[in-house]
Amino acid sequence: MLEKWLKEGFIRHKPDQLTVNQYEPGQGIPAHIDTHSAFEDEIISLSLGSEIIMDFKHPDGVTVPVMLPLRSLLVMTGESRYLWTHGITPRKFDTVQASKGHKSGIITGDVGDLTLSKRGIRTSFTFRKVRQTPCDCSYPLVCDSQMKEPPPSFPESDKEASQLEQKYVHQVYEEIAGHFSSTRHTPWPHIVEFLKALPSGSLVADVGCGNGKYLGINKELYMIGCDRSQNLVDICREKQYQAFVCDALSVPVRSGSCDACISIAVIHHFATAERRMAALQEIARLLRSGGKALIYVWAMEQEYQKKKSKYLRENKSNQGRQEISSDPSAQELFVEPVPDTGHQDSACSIPSINDFQKGRYHSREVANSMLPIHTNRTSFHSQDLLVPWHLKGNASKEKPTEPFGPAGTHDTGPVLHRYYHVFCEGELEAACQTLNNVSILQSYYDQGNWCVILQKA
């Protein structure tokens, strides 16, 4: 069979590695690019059993669904092998062409020629040729052989997680603090609403306060801020705010002393479920009986209830006013209460409350443990990833600059990467429900973020 493929010109390299997988209906493959340095140009997939739709996605956001009929041979080479991700969405039905003559290839958007196809059992034979030399492909930005430093692996211990956060969170924020602050100037309406509803004289802690944009929202409150970044805390102090440096896992404030806490876009920077839980427990520790906390984390679902978040909708050519967590005040506000349906229509793996209570919830093990690098302004394909920040020089509050350019542009400044764990629907609530003496008053979705309001008993 291999000799026939070579003779027919389908492939140039004779494979020396074979992976066999069998998939039940409802199972899928996470979107990925096979590691450049591991294998030669051609990735060959022979499909037996059920037909299937494989999704190919370009870094600019273009997605192409391709029908793989039973007993078909797919050869990925060049750009499709090195640049586009490929994966199979976990579901039991595929949308396919209704035309009888259309049995393979790209699925078009002609709604009049689409139908549903029930999946069966599919067995795939993936052939590869092991690479003996470093990859020298034409796509250096996604090539591990040509990167100055390969992406880090997913942490397998608390020590590794701490080291990952130190390098890909703490050090990055120290370096980008000035530029980061210049893009953080507009308070989010629902956070303002929470702060303005608190009783006059309340003591409020902003855990992970950044440049302090929420510390002066309500002059009737006594607000203190803390952040891991010395440079961001210095910016707070320049504004005459009360702020100090500390880690969100260990806040040097007396237990039960705060009337309220806020934690905005912080907990998603912790690299394991255990460390994220510890950050939630620390916030709960600070609250007095009856005290409230508002928590925001970045959402895996950047399109929710058929509406795209501002992060996806933002015009990439619009200079300034773009933030890594979309600013809902810049466009119409999209806030949705979270329905208690228990349904999750995505590839997310949602932990149950029992999983958290019994310590069974650990981050998913994946075949390739290297953290993927996200393409800005596109949907997420992994919960744990690195997000690029294109650093600009001479950033000022008067002229905010674009923190990251559109895909394909060439920025003069360095590109730094921050670690994120994006939360799936229900994940934040499941974690909060395990906190002692804490109840969830409200949970909602706000422009690409999952949010909860907690109250301590």
334-368 pLDDT, tens digit per residue, is 455 654 433 333 446 555 555 555 444 444 433 34
Q: What is the pLDDT at residue 99?
A: 67
Tell me, yes or no, whether 448 and 304 share the same domain: yes
Q: Strand (E) positions, 102-211?
A: 105-106, 114-118, 122-130, 203-207
Query: Domain range for residue 335?
Result: 158-456
Contacts of 388 (CB under 8 A, 6+ apart): 373, 374, 376, 404, 415, 416, 417
CATH code, 86: 2.60.120.1520
pLDDT of residue 100: 58
Mean pLDDT over 207-219 rounds to 97
Let me know whether 197 and 116 are in one domain.
no
Asked if residue 58 is part of any domain, the answer here is: yes
Write the CATH number for 243.
3.40.50.150
Together in a domain, 229 and 297: yes
Whether residue 235 has pLDDT greater than 50: yes
Q: What is the pLDDT of residues 137-180, one digit of tens each?
A: 988 878 888 877 777 878 889 999 999 999 999 999 999 999 99
Q: Is the pLDDT of residue 248 over 50?
A: yes
**Tell me, what's the pLDDT at 108?**
63
- Specify whether 241 is located in the same domain as 358: yes
Q: Does residue 152 form part of some domain?
A: no
Of 89, 108, 142, the residue at which a domain comes to its end is 142
- Show Cβ contacts of residue 202 under 8 Å, excluding neighbours closer than 6 positions: 221, 222, 259, 260
Q: What is the pLDDT, as a whole number, of residue 326?
A: 41
φ/ψ (deg, to 5) at 256: 70, 20
Asked if the structure places residue 402 within a domain, the reply is yes
Query: Cβ(193)–Cβ(328) under 8 Å?
Result: no
In a domain, 188, yes or no: yes
% of the chain with per-residue pLDDT over 90: 50
- Pinpoint the alpha helices (H) of 10-151: 79-82
- Of 95, 116, 142, the residue that ends a domain is 142
Q: Residue 56 CA to chain centroid, in angstroms?
A: 19
* Mean predicted lDDT score pLDDT of the chain: 82
* In contact, 28 and 91? CB cutoff 8 Å: yes
303 domain residue, yes or no: yes
User: How many structural domains compose the chain?
Assistant: 2
The answer to whether residue 153 is domain-embedded is no
Nearest CA to 236 out of 163, 245, 385, 251 is that of 245
Please, which pLDDT band fits residue 6 given cuts at 50, 70 and 90?
confident
- 415 & 367 share domain: yes
Task: Say whether both 311 and 404 belong to one domain.
Answer: yes
Q: Is residue 150 part of a domain?
A: no
Angle between helices 273-286 and 158-165 (to 10 degrees): 80
116 and 163, same domain (yes or no): no
Each residue's pLDDT tens digit, 429-443:
999 999 999 999 999
DSSP state of 50: S
Q: What pTM did the predictor assign?
A: 0.64
123 and 174 within one domain: no
- In this structure, the answer to whether residues 111 and 167 fall within a common structural domain is no
* Domain identity same for 192 and 280: yes
Are both 229 and 184 inside the same structural domain? yes
Distances in Å between the alpha carbon of 176 and those of 63, 210, 240, 420, 434? 32, 11, 21, 16, 35
Q: Strand, helix or coil at 235? A: helix
Domain edge (last residue) among 110, 142, 174? 142
Pairwise CA distance, residues 100 & 437, whole Å: 61
Q: Do 87 and 194 share a domain, yes or no?
A: no
Domain membership flag for residue 334:
yes
